[in-house]
Amino acid sequence: MLVDSHCHLDFPDLAEDLDEVVARAHRAGVGHMLTICTHVTRFERVLATARRFDTVDCTVGIHPHEAGTEPETAAETLMEMARDPKVVGFGETGLDFFYEHSPREAQARSFREHIRAAREMGLPVIVHTRDADPETIRILEEEQAKGPFPGLIHCFSSGPELAEKAVEMGMMISVSGIATFKKADALRDTIRAVPLDHLLVETDAPYLAPVPKRGKRNEPAFTVHTAAVVAEVKGMAPAELAEATTANFYRLFTKARRPASMAAE
């Protein structure tokens, strides 16, 4: 069984035929999906999506793109929302200095509140970082100094320094379809060096469809293509990679449970 550790099932691109999207994932061997919140004001929609399926959990959080327009949300509010059994983590949050849709200061404040919630509840924080590796490392190290917290770098596309720092802090590295792209040799080299017990796989659906589905709408079933490339990079069989990354997911997301409908898979 594979786990798609990061997708957006509430987005309109997928919501229009969601039952079949989830069914296709199951048929492909993707037995659990984590649908990620990007707007705290849309959390109820994300939660409703997760409640529809035994094989879907969710998070609560504010994407860095939205940090300047969503309500400024304290850790206490995030934690209250996370008391629902279906909510297993915080985010996605972090820093995006490529698009800078939100002021950097707002992104950093929101990032730190998500981390504080993760620390206090012991649930993972899902980190988005783009063109902001030094600043992301600094915030993670400063917050780790206040007390440890679980987390992951999602859709990893950075260099070895961030990967090394994240692993040193006990965080996971989540690999998306970017790793299958022809020109992603440097990323594959970085993934090769990441310890197996720190790896997850994801789609970030509906975005970033992997080869051979590139250019199409991405969906959780396509996790198998990314996992196959990661397995090749790590020099192991796809089944071994699936077993390892699935075990990593449940070790990190301690509140998540293997869906009963997929337990025998």
Binding positions for a divalent metal cation are 6, 8, 92, 128, 154, 204
Q: Edge-to-edge, what's the strand order for the sheet holding 56-60? A: 2-7, 30-35, 56-60, 87-96, 125-130, 151-153, 172-175, 199-201
Beta bridge mates, 58: 35, 87
C-alpha pair distances (Å), 4 with each of 121, 162, 222:
23, 22, 9
Q: Which residues are annotated as a binding site?
A: 6, 8, 92, 128, 154, 204
Contact 58, 47 (CB under 8 A): yes
Respond yes or no on whether the N-terminal peptide bond of residue 206 is cis (omega within 30° of 0): yes
Say which residue the tokens 């099932």 belong to.
9
Say which residue the tokens 């404040």 belong to.
109
Q: Is 127 helix (H, G, I), strand (E, B) or coil?
A: strand
Beta bridge mates, 33: 4, 56
Rg (CA), the chain: 17
Q: At what angle do helices 160-168 and 185-193 cross, to 10 degrees?
A: 20
